[in-house]
Chains A and B, each alone.
Chain A
Amino acid sequence: MAKDVKKEYVSILAQINVDGTIQPLRVLLEDGRKYDIDEVKDKCRAASLRAGGCGIRYTIRIGARDTYLFDEDGRWFVELRVS
């Protein structure tokens, strides 16, 4: 189950809005890769069964692809594909 995905903690560049909400702008992987977030499509509390964890899930669009970004009590992770 879910062997193609691993839980990868990432750094986040984000904007904190006037109302205190957080808007993630860029994802920085540990290996140096950077991805700009083009759009935050959805935000809800959800579990990640694939990577193993739970928190606030942002559905983000990077280029043409949608993916998930999780805020797990202040630490952020993505479901990173491993080949």
Chain B
Amino acid sequence: MDRSILHVDMNACYASIECLYDPSIRDKPVAVGGDAEARHGIILAKNQIAKKYGVTTGEALWQAKQKCPQLVIIKPHYDRYLRFSALARQIYGSYTDQVESFGLDECWLDVSGSVHLFGEAAVIAEEIRERVKRELGITVSVGVSYNKVFAKLGSDLKKPDAVSVLTRDNYRDKVWPLPASDLLYVGRATTRKLYNHGIETIGQLAKTDPELLQAWFGKVGMILYWFANGLDNSPVMSVGDETIIKSIGNSTTTPRDLMNELDAKIVFYMLAESVAERMRDHGFLAKTVQISVRDNGLFWFQKQMKLDEPTCLASELCDTAMELLRISYRWQNPLRSIGIRGCDLIPATTPKQLKLFEDEAEREKLEQLERAVDDIRRRFGHYAIYRAVVEFDPTLKHINPKEDHTIHPIGYFKAN
């Protein structure tokens, strides 16, 4: 039997929530944007009215202002968005325990097991749409289908505040005319490549020989073929499974450009400390360190390196990050934003091979030291204690306590 899967997407989530809280701006073009002073000056979300003016997510605040001079720009309130996200999940949770988040504002629900309790999937979708509107005061659009990929496409078909159903009978009419770029996993590069091969719609993609796709894109080619034909059978995670953490990372756009290694080191230390603290909180060690770097020309790259030994020490994370940066970057341009991530996580309780020629006692001491720092910060605040290196430029200091990180959608294939 086919599964019944919903994809619920909160319409213009951040902007809707801000408009809910401030009735006086509801009939104006509104955008939620970062802090231009601290150089987080891009549009994060916009409401329908701002959309009409051509304001797009991701553009600079000044660009948006040019298109729409009367645009109301509001600073983001992440605590509110987190609260609404949790409240929405509570509503979804009353229909099924298979609720999988994709970012803050999107969720998949597998309601196959609940249809005999609450009615057909489309009925549940309508009920969820109504309830979110009544209880949270914001609108959602829901896609209903027999797989996750089509459900997600469905939620984009009609919005705001709507339900779209994609079945085995109608997907050829409704999905196939859509541009290939609407499909999950088709980004800008893939779109261009497909276009060069004469493929513009999902339908054309679906009818392309899968072996050809595989030749063009490798493994992803097969995935695209499956997605376009609705052959995706990936499960919707259960509430409990989703907490499996694959990696812990943190990145920031710094208040000023980073000019040299010392600047980078200051910021890497701040980031590494918050990453290490979170790893210790969750009881993890990282086997791999990854850095992401963006220069002021927005050139961007990621590099990673395996560690000799799994670690949860900020100093080791930071040293590795600096080494990676030294190998891979020549300071052609100053840096605008950097990030560090601990990957290949293993539980801290995993037995480990002790080294004959390395001072294990010293490492243990270091870990105790960092734990003591965690403790001091927990009790007296983040800035009660910090590394001396930070004092080289205190302006960089005010970037990133542990709470400051944002939530982005993680990969689709979490189970792999």
Contacts and interface: CB of A to CB of B under 8 A. Distances in A.
B134 A52 contact: no
A50 B23 contact: yes
A2 B23 contact: yes
Contact of B21 (A44, A45, A52, A73): A52
Contacts of A13: none
A48 interface: yes
Contacts of B84: 54
B137 interface: yes
A54 B23 contact: no
A46 B134 contact: yes
Main secondary structure on chain B at its contact with chain A? Answer: helix
A1 B26 contact: yes
A54 B26 contact: no
A52 B84 CA distance: 14
A22 interface: no
B2 interface: no
Interface in B127-143: 133-138
A73 B83 contact: yes
A48 B22 CA distance: 11
B23 A52 contact: yes
B369 interface: no
A44 B21 CA distance: 19
B415 interface: no
Contact of A54 (B22, B27, B137): B137
A57 to B, nearest CB: 9
B298 interface: no
A54 B23 CA distance: 13
Residue among B20, B21, B23 with the highest chain A CB neighbour number at 10 A: B23
Interface of A: 1-2, 5, 44-54, 73
Given A49-B23, A53-B20, A54-B136, 20 more contacts: A1-B23, A5-B23, A44-B135, A45-B135, A46-B135, A46-B137, A47-B20, A47-B133, A47-B135, A47-B136, A47-B138, A48-B137, A50-B23, A52-B21, A52-B22, A54-B20, A54-B84, A54-B87, A54-B137, A73-B83
